[in-house]
């Protein structure tokens, strides 16, 4: 069948050429076409039903003609885009000839109804061209629902994002050094494929239990609700300082949070509290010689690590729950891995307070603290945790080893503790902790902690 189609195409092309003897047609596979742009962006933000048009110019810089076998929209008739070629509005057209050193115009139109709830924030398709056995693709991108669109943008002055409209990040957004981005409760941030938030200054994302701040992908279809790897994540650079994330949900990326340096001052590099990080393709938190304070957080279902901190640093981790039970990942790495070492030239002292946490998963060793560098120091306080580990040396200081925490419903992502959990009322008293009144006196559900506490991020009330 394919051979018959090819013969018919050649026959048609020869007939076409016979009718146009003034221009020889080039059938060589190395013949090239060029385009006025490598992608088409419709950056109009619609507030009512509307349409707009962009022009694509296709150049044939060869001395002889090229016959385009087919130009079409990848999405066909169901696409939100339409083409107009030689005055014909269509989703596909066959046998378009471009003479040597000539060009044609293709007009691309988009129709948007931003009030359609199931319309993506970013509408995509592509123009496909087939000629001489070659295939070319021109991506089409349009803004869909009404939102604040941030495209490869740098924030250069103190700025506040509010919850009135969602923010769509396309490519990247960077908070420059010395600049603070404040994100108000209830704000939703949707990241397009491979998009990143770069923090070189300060990020203050302060949500509430009622109005959490959402960091996720811009794919709203149901099948993408819990799909990892859809955007890159949040990256804190060496120049960043004094950042805080409170009551946020960070999900469906590659690496949820990356912090690559120690603090520049006496405050932690990042204070992460009351936050859910899940469905990361590689890692929930990635630290390189860094400084993290983290309370009341829930890490779950990541491809390799829930927390990976190497090269030493300072970690103050209390009342967190780490759950690595997603069978979809062929994981061989510990859920929580902390080390003083990156390489023979990259190591640092490791200071760790690990208190009242749950670390649970499918592997024998889900909690590993690794000292490799002879010249570094390990100062670790590991108390009153429920740990999945073969390290019997941890079976002291109130730690509970290898006892199922008995979560309420893992399949429904409910990691509260049931009434028979061994983690009930086993937490050490933290009322004298520096952060008790601000963060530790309540759990992730904003319930008061009354000693003796539960281990992990949830009180069982």
Rounded Cα gap, residues 252 and 261, in angstroms: 24
- Which residues lie closer than 8 Å to 17 by C-beta, 6 or more apart? 24, 25, 67
Average pLDDT over residues 427-456: 95
Domain boundary among 143, 175, 191: 143
117 with 174, same domain: the answer is: no
Q: Where are the beta strands (DSSP E) in 9-117?
A: 34-35, 40-42, 50-60, 66-73, 81-85, 88-90, 92-98, 102-112
Rg (CA), the chain: 28
- What's residue 220's pLDDT? 73
Whether 124 and 181 map to the same domain: the answer is no
Neighbouring residues of 397: CB distance < 8 A, sequence distance ≥ 6? 382, 383, 384
Lookup: tokens for 10: 């050649």
CA distance 139 to 57: 14
Q: What does the chain come to in residues?
A: 461
User: Could you tell me how far CA 154 lies from the centroid of its own chain?
Assistant: 19
Based on the fold, state whether residues 235 and 293 are members of the same structural domain.
yes
Same domain, yes or no, for 127 and 200? no
Q: Measured between alpha carbons, how far is residue 412 from residues 291, 407, 408, 452, 458 in Å?
A: 33, 10, 9, 28, 16
Are 166 and 223 in a shared domain? yes
pLDDT tens per residue, range 338-363: 999 888 888 889 999 999 999 999 99
Cβ pair 195, 231 in contact under 8 A:
yes
The mean per-residue pLDDT over the stretch 49-71 comes to 86
CB 297 within 8 A of CB 271: no
Same domain, 53 and 198: no
pLDDT in tens, 2-44: 455 545 555 555 544 444 445 788 888 888 899 998 888 876 6
114 pLDDT tier (thresholds 50, 70, 90): low
93 in a structural domain: yes
| Chain centre to alpha carbon of residue 302 | 12
Which three-class secondary structure state does DSSP give residue 16?
helix
Number of domains in the chain: 2
CA distance 352 to 394: 14
Question: Which residues are bridge partners to 142 per DSSP?
Answer: 42, 123
pLDDT at 267: 92
Burial of residue 8 (number of CB atoms within 10 Å: 0-12, 13-18, 19+): exposed
CATH number at residue 128: 2.60.40.2310
Q: 14 in a domain, yes or no?
A: no
What integer is the mean pLDDT of 41-59? 74
Q: How far apart are CA 416 and CA 401, in angstroms?
A: 19
Same domain, 29 and 128: yes
Residue 452 lies in a domain: no
Is 1 a domain residue?
Answer: no
Whole-number Å distance between alpha carbons of 275 and 340: 26
Same domain, 187 and 205: yes
- Verify that 361 and 310 share a domain, yes or no: yes
**Rounded Cα–Cα distance for residues 109 and 83 (Å):** 6
* Rounded Cα gap, residues 358 and 156, in angstroms: 40
Give CA–CA dist 230/120, Å, rounded: 14
193-211 b/e with 16+ CB inside 10 Å = b? eebbbbbbbbbbbebeeee
**Cα distance between residue 448 and residue 69, in whole Å:** 69
Count of C-beta atoms within a 10 Å radius of residue 117? 7
Question: Is the predicted pLDDT of residue 187 greater than 90, yes or no?
Answer: yes
- Judge whether 377 lies within some domain: yes
Of 113, 143, 173, which residue sits at a domain end? Answer: 143
Are the C-beta atoms of residues 234 and 199 closer than 8 Å to each other?
A: yes
Of 74-83, 89-98, 211-220, highest mean pLDDT: 211-220
User: Which range has the top average pLDDT, 22-36, 122-136, 243-257, 361-375?
Assistant: 243-257
For residue 16, being part of any structural domain is answered with no
Q: What is the pLDDT of residue 296?
A: 98
Residue where a domain terminates, one of 84, 108, 143: 143
**Residue in this structure with the two tokens 């000539």, named with its chain if needed:** 102
pLDDT tens column, 395-411: 999 999 999 999 999 98
The string of pLDDT tens digits covering residues 120-131 is 677 888 999 999
Whether 15 maps to a domain, the answer reads no
Query: Could you tell me if 198 and 285 lie in one domain?
Result: yes
Cα torsion 32, 38, 44, 49: sign: positive
Shared domain check, 72 and 182: no
Residue 421: predicted pLDDT: 97
List, in sequence order, every residue forming a beta bridge with 294; answer none if it has no partner: 272, 317
Element (H, E) at 5: helix 2-18
Closest CA to 167 of 151, 150, 179: 150
Indicate whether 262 and 341 sit together in one domain. Answer: yes
Q: Which residues pair with 265 in a beta bridge?
A: none
> Helix/strand/coil (H, E, C) string of 397-450?
CCCEECCCCCEEECCCCEEEECCCCCCCCCCCCCCCCCCHHHHHCECCCCCECC
For residue 455, tell me if it sits in a domain: no
Give the domain extent around 27.
Answer: 23-143
């Amino acid at each position: 069948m394919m051979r018959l189609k090819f013969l018919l195409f050649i026959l048609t092309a020869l007939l076409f050429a016979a009718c146009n003897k003034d221009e020889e047609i080039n059938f060589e596979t190395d013949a090239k076409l060029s385009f006025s742009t490598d992608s088409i962006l419709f950056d109009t933000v619609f507030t009512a039903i509307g349409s707009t048009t962009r022009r694509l110019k296709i150049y044939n810089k060869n001395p002889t003609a090229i016959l385009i076998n087919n130009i079409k929209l990848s999405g066909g008739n169901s696409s939100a885009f339409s083409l107009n070629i030689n005055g014909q509005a269509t989703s596909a057209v066959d046998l378009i000839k471009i003479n040597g050193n000539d060009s044609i115009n293709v007009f691309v139109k988009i129709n948007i109804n931003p009030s359609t709830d199931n319309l993506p924030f970013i509408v995509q398709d592509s123009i496909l061209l087939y000629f001489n056995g070659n295939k070319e693709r021109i991506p089409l991108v349009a803004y869909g629902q009404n939102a604040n669109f941030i495209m490869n943008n740098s924030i250069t002055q103190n700025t506040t994002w509010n919850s009135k409209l969602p923010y769509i990040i396309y490519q990247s957004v960077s908070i420059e050094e010395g600049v603070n981005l404040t994100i108000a409760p209830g704000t939703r941030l949707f990241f397009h494929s491979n998009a990143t938030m770069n923090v070189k200054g300060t990020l203050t994302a302060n949500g509430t239990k009622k109005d959490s701040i959402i960091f996720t992908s811009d794919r709203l279809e149901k099948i993408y609700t819990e799909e990892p790897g859809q955007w890159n994540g949040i990256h804190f650079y060496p120049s960043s300082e004094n950042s805080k994330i409170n009551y946020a949900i960070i999900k469906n990326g590659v690496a949820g949070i990356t912090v690559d340096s120690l603090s520049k001052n006496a405050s932690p590099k990042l204070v992460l509290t009351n936050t859910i990080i899940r469905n990361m393709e590689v890692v929930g938190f990635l630290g390189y010689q860094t400084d993290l304070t983290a309370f009341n957080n829930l890490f779950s279902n990541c491809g390799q690590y829930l927390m990976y901190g190497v090269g030493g640093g300072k970690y103050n981790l209390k009342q967190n729950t780490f759950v690595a039970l997603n069978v979809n990942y062929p994981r061989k790495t510990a859920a929580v891995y902390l080390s003083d070492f990156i390489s023979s030239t990259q190591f640092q002292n490791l200071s760790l307070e690990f208190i009242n946490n749950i670390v649970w998963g499918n592997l024998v060793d889900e909690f590993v603290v690794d000292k490799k560098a002879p010249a570094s120091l390990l100062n670790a306080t590991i108390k009153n945790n429920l740990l999945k580990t073969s390290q019997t040396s941890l079976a002291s200081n109130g730690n509970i080893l290898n006892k199922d925490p008995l979560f309420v419903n893992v399949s429904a992502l409910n990691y509260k503790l049931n009434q028979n959990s061994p983690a009930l009322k086993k937490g050490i008293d933290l009322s004298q902790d520096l952060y008790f009144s601000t963060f530790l006196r309540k759990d992730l559900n904003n319930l008061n902690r009354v000693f003796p506490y539960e281990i992990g991020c949830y009180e069982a009330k």
